[in-house]
């Protein structure tokens, strides 16, 4: 089937080579500019992989909820949630992770790739107390690559524009979805 792309050579023929700037912005440490983006971000998507497949999990809190420990280490508290632990189970079995940081109102995103471990060190957990509540664990992420992504996707999606927000009344409520799916 000629319509399927199955090799890197085919990709190169279709897309060409990346521009030099897109290569130079990727580094193997948390550059001060990238550190500032992480410290300003209230939201990230954590991507993991495991034997059952992939997982992408939203993570959010006040800006700076992910702490830059040093230029090669990020700390991310795992706050209480639904206890599915999909991402955590994946990390136990395969430590590779990807993070996509979003900053409201900013078109650029920040991509971080690396490996993670799950810590239950009491002193580390205490550092992330919020409103009298402690996380159950802290992800210690070793940074391997970091780079910012240009704003094109955010601009095209209009995600930060007030007029593009979804009308909730046109979608099923969480209660309706839970009720209907529990009957399956």
- Domains in the chain, please, with CATH? 25-162 (2.30.110.10)
Structure confidence at residue 1 (pLDDT):
56
Over residues 156-183, mean pLDDT: 91
Over residues 77-96, mean pLDDT: 93
With 70 as the cut, is the pLDDT of residue 127 above it? Answer: yes
pLDDT tens, residue by residue, 134-166: 999 999 999 999 999 999 999 999 999 988 999
Give the span between the Cα atoms of 43 and 147, in whole angstroms. 17
Over residues 25-44, mean pLDDT: 97
Q: Which range is least confidently modeled, 36-50, 122-136, 163-177?
A: 163-177
pTM of the model: 0.91
Tell me if residue 84 falls in helix, strand or coil: coil
Structure confidence at residue 14 (pLDDT):
92
With 90 as the cut, is the pLDDT of residue 40 above it? Answer: yes
Structure confidence at residue 184 (pLDDT):
72
Give the span between the Cα atoms of 110 and 31, in whole angstroms. 12
Q: Residue 100: which of 142, 67, 149 has the closest Cα?
A: 149
Name the pLDDT band for 53 (thresholds 50, 70, 90). confident
Whether residue 121 contacts residue 160, with contact meaning beta carbons closer than 8 Å, is answered with no
- Residue 84: CB atoms within 10 A of its CB come to 10
* Strands, E assignment, 24-136: 43-50, 53-60, 67-70, 73-78, 96-102, 109-119
Over residues 114-132, mean pLDDT: 97
Structure confidence at residue 80 (pLDDT):
86
Mean pLDDT across the chain = 94
Q: What is the DSSP letter of 18?
A: P
Kindly list the distances between the CA atom of residue 41 and the CA atoms of 16, 47, 88, 91, in Å, as whole numbers in the listed order: 33, 17, 22, 23
């Amino acid at each position: 089937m000629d319509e399927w792309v199955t090799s890197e050579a085919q990709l190169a023929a279709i897309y060409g080579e990346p521009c030099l700037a897109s290569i130079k912005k990727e580094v193997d440490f948390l550059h001060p500019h990238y550190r500032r983006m992480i410290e300003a971000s209230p939201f990230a998507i954590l991507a993991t992989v495991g034997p059952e497949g992939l997982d992408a999990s939203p993570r959010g809190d006040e800006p700076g909820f992910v702490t830059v420990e040093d230029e090669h280490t990020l700390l991310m508290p795992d706050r209480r949630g639904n206890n599915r632990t999909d991402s955590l189970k994946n990390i136990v079995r395969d430590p590779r992770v990807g993070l996509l940081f979003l900053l409201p109102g900013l078109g650029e995103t920040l991509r971080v790739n690396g490996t993670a471990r799950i810590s239950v060190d009491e002193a580390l957990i205490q550092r992330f107390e919020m409103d009298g509540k402690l996380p159950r664990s802290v992800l210690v992420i070793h940074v391997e690559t970091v780079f910012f992504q240009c704003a094109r996707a955010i601009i095209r999606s209009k995600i930060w524009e007030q007029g593009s927000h979804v009308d909730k009344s046109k979608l099923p409520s969480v209660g309706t979805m839970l009720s209907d799916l529990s009957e399956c």
